Amino acid sequence: MAMMMFDSVVLINRTKRTLTCLFDGDYYPIKPGKNPGWPKVMVGFAKNQNPRMGTQDPYVGKNFESLVGVEGTKDPIDPIDEAKEKSVERINRKMVMGQGRFAVPVDGRMFHPSEIMEEDGALSLDSVFGKD
């Protein structure tokens, strides 16, 4: 039987709670603090699945800060006080151009796609931004 070898890193969970990473159909826990021996192939999955809310560039989706980082790289690895975090969406609303910058979440209510569609099935941005 051949032994599988893989490159590994120290993955830092910047929060005080256990995060998860779904990889190849299995969930892997990411404990608070240092997680030595984290397979390098899983780093991108862990980062993408654990974004720091309110940090994603709305125009360049791959530009965001993650709740996890890799020790010894340019990744931010400083601890995060989640009690002070306020954003409930991935994107940084301050970076949005136009009226979208002023959109606010409505507590306890999800919109249905039919609420923003025109009769011909086209997306109505005026409906999204309340101009109807």
Question: How many domains is the chain partitioned into structurally?
Answer: 2
Mean pLDDT value across residues 100-114: 68
pLDDT per residue as tens digits for the range 69-88: 999 999 999 999 988 888 88
My answer on whether 116 and 91 are in the same domain is no
Statement to judge: residues 124 and 82 lie in one domain:
no
Q: Are residues 129 and 91 both part of a single domain?
A: no
DSSP letters, the chain, are: -PPP---EEEEEE-SSS-EEEEETTEEEEE-SEEEEEEEGGGHHHHHHHSBPTT-B-SSSTT---BSEEETTSSS--S---GGG----SSB-GGG--GGGGG----TT-PPPGGGGB-TTS-B-HHHHTT--
The pLDDT value given to residue 4: 57
Q: Are residues 5 and 22 in the same domain?
A: yes
pLDDT reading at 90 higher than 70: yes
Output the pTM of the full model.
Answer: 0.72
Q: Do residues 59 and 122 share a domain?
A: no
What range does the domain containing 23 cover? 1-95
